[in-house]
Amino acid sequence: MSLKIGDTAPDFSAETTLGKIDFYDWTNGRWVILYSHPADYTPICTTELGRTAQLKDEFEKRNTSVLALSVDDVESHRGWIKDINETANTQVEFPIIADSDKTIANAYQMIHENASSSVTVRTVYFIGPDKKIKATITYPASTGRNFAEILRVLDSLQLTSEFSVGTPVDWEDGQEVVISPSVGNEEIPERFPKGHREVKPYLRYTPQPNK
């Protein structure tokens, strides 16, 4: 049975490149990106972890901690990090979980048997401060992740958790958003003082409230 949006993210204890962590304590009220890698010393993963490290300030601006997972051990991870730092001209400062027995990978359904019985697919879990799964993106092992999209989804999740809005197609941070159908027209002036425009009674746009 797969994890779904709204489910509570499974807790776990794990050894990482930054020491042992207890996941729930480690989150410390922040948003979390938890994502998996098929194995150490693989080319696509190397580029992804390098990009993650380069985006450190972007994740920090969003009060988000990043946690990577690979089924190899900590010593392998540490050797791999040297390659990542060199090839991406960066410094990996976030923890990488050692999951040799695949306990965490299995708890988060990161192994898809029809793709591989032993290697994780490229799953991304967006986990809120309430430890609930807010979104997931899964790629096959052969396809590298789009971190612009990961940041965009994170922006949308954080915005829509605070305001009664949704983000329309191809939305990017700073653009208009859609007022939720649950908000009556009479409520709009107070809740969205920047104004709004109505395209259809069910399609009402307003400037992004937190900008």
The packing angle between helices 43-54 and 74-88, to 10°, is: 70
Provide, for the chain, the percentages of residues in helix, strand and coil under a 3-state DSSP scheme, each rounded to the nearest 5: 30, 25, 45
Whole-Å CA distances, 104 to 51, 101, 148, 191: 23, 8, 26, 42
Query: Among 32, 45, 66, 84, which one carries the catalytic annotation?
Result: 45
Q: How far apart are the C-alpha atoms of 129 and 167, rounded to whole Å?
A: 21
**Contact predicate 123/108, CB 8 Å:** yes
Write the single-letter amino acid at 158. Q
Is residue 45 annotated as part of the catalytic site, yes or no? yes
Q: Which residues are catalytic?
A: 45
